[in-house]
Chain A
């Protein structure tokens, strides 16, 4: 029994592909990606030419398909699409991804209206048109032309197919995984509102990331976004260009109210956390899916070098974190364990004369009196970076508090960084980025307390 109509999109028993089966064409490439991705269900290419492609029998039409098909991926020319939707409806297939373009994005509103009307009539839900498809890496389901995503806990909903594709390519390089990926294109039917609601209840999804150019049905968006961010963090990149909010204002305040301020207000009301770009989104989504939220905003910075520690502290304070001095008892207890030159303020500078034990004991003590910690380790070739990583990992085990590490840099810390990642720790390229993600963890904690009092009609 289906728990949700959208399961047909993300967990179909079998998928049909209506489009070209010539190598290099979108239809063919999607089938190839499904096959290479290891999809477990049946794959049915549909093309009047018939024959065989990539080892699959090609069906001449939708009506010839077996009953297990739940999703059709369409990359047909415009003129063939409506009839295919009708065939889907008659066959009882309730979900279609329309990759094809040539609709409202080029001013062809008539074609898009016809698509919507036909889909409603035959009770077929549509993602697209003019989209890059979707993915569920947890079921090896890749009906898309983009780089196949690794499994992970971030669901990514994107209004731009191209940006979605670029994000997946960057994510692969970073070994960043996704629970779901959806490019909804022109949003003629299924859009961010319903996807937010679906993914808010998706067990594989720990964080929802959005790329938004402009919303439609703003009030419904507010409700869906608020309900979703009560359940899990929702992170958004909002690009500036949109026509939807332009209006002629005659009052002073009216003139000053730019579309960006209004989106900020919408995000604030619903608890959406805004980020500036893809890098921040990755950093944050990774942190949200791996770290618990801190109880407060007191952060300890543990480092073996002065400069990078101070930079991180400056950034942390600027972002509203409290880089408070440790207590006298902390200093007294820790002093005998560290190098005589160690500085027991915050940042806690262990100096270059420190290894496994110094890092472990300093971090463990810091976590007893702070809400979170940033660990900065600047390697030199003669230091045992792996041992220091183990020191951090062992200290982390003793506490359920967020720890963000910054082991730098490059080749000499490669193995150590791998150890940290295997232990479930987030390691970022600079201390400033560590401070950024920690500030957003505390923001999330605060906004959970705040948005439950938001008035959503």
Chain B
């Protein structure tokens, strides 16, 4: 069992976002360059080093729905905005809403949102999911399911089997998605799910398909 999962289990909580990203990284999945900060100076320093604009989110074992709770700031353009966001995010802190810091990473322009995830079935074990992401996942329920572990052929099959698959080919002057990288993401996630029995669910949403690679903009791991 991965030490981060062990630690979270001991503490009776799910993984925090920086832990999710670190876990994914250990299984060979590309994650954005992120920094966990605890004070305003660190926030400014990290933002300058990452380059503008940046995304800043609250890291809390208690706040599950970050966006709805006002725990996410995207597209922060300068130091003033970072300072303001910093105060507002820390203003969320209370007895019920513990804050373990803030996570900062680069803002990524995008137009397509995907979701990649895993649900563990009692009979068949880990099932990998792939589909449209963001709010579209609930609107269209356009999701492909594949039982882990996935071969390259099975991962490709999943990309092709969503109804919106043509969106990956690059319509109307958009550049096509990096299919190989997306397949790799599904395969590695399936390998991680096979190995880490303690994970009940994974929800990477949204994931932006890029001309080269992909960008995981948010991730949750439920134990």
Residues of A bordering B, CB below 8 Å: 214-219, 221-222, 244-247, 249-254, 256-257, 259, 261-262, 264-266, 268-269, 450, 453-455, 457
Contacts and interface: CB of A to CB of B under 8 A. Distances in A.
A361 B209 CA distance: 54
B71 interface: no
B47 interface: no
Interface stretch (B32-40, B114-122, B165-173): B114-122
Contact of B145 (A244, A246, A247, A257): A257
Given A251-B220, A257-B129, A262 B153 contact: no
B203 interface: yes
Contact of B124 (A219, A454, A455): A219
A253 B157 contact: no
A262 B123 CA distance: 10
Contacts of A221: 123
Contact of B201 (A222, A251, A259): A251
A253 B119 contact: yes
B108 to A, nearest CB: 21
A455 B222 contact: no
A262 B145 contact: yes
A265 B115 CA distance: 18
A261 B162 CA distance: 13
Contact of A266 (B147, B153, B154, B222): B147
Interface in B120-155: 120-125, 127, 129, 131, 137-138, 141, 143, 145-147, 149-154
Contacts of B124: 218-219, 222, 262, 265-266
Given A249-B201, A251-B203, A254-B201, A455 B151 contact: yes
B159 to A, nearest CB: 14
A265 B127 contact: yes
Given A218-B122, A254-B222, A453-B153, 15 more contacts: A222-B124, A244-B122, A247-B119, A247-B121, A249-B119, A250-B201, A251-B117, A252-B137, A252-B138, A252-B205, A253-B131, A253-B137, A256-B137, A262-B123, A453-B151
Nearest to A215: B123
Interface in B145-196: 145-147, 149-154, 157, 194
Interface of B: 115, 117, 119-125, 127, 129, 131, 137-138, 141, 143, 145-147, 149-154, 157, 194, 201-203, 205, 220, 222
Contacts of B138: 252, 256
Nearest to A250: B222
B138 to A, nearest CB: 6
B151 A454 contact: yes
Nearest to A455: B151
Contacts of B119: 247, 249, 251, 253-254, 257, 262
Contacts of B146: 265, 268-269
Given A251-B201, A262-B145, A269-B147, A216 B123 contact: yes
A264 B144 CA distance: 10
Contact of A218 (B121, B143, B202): B121
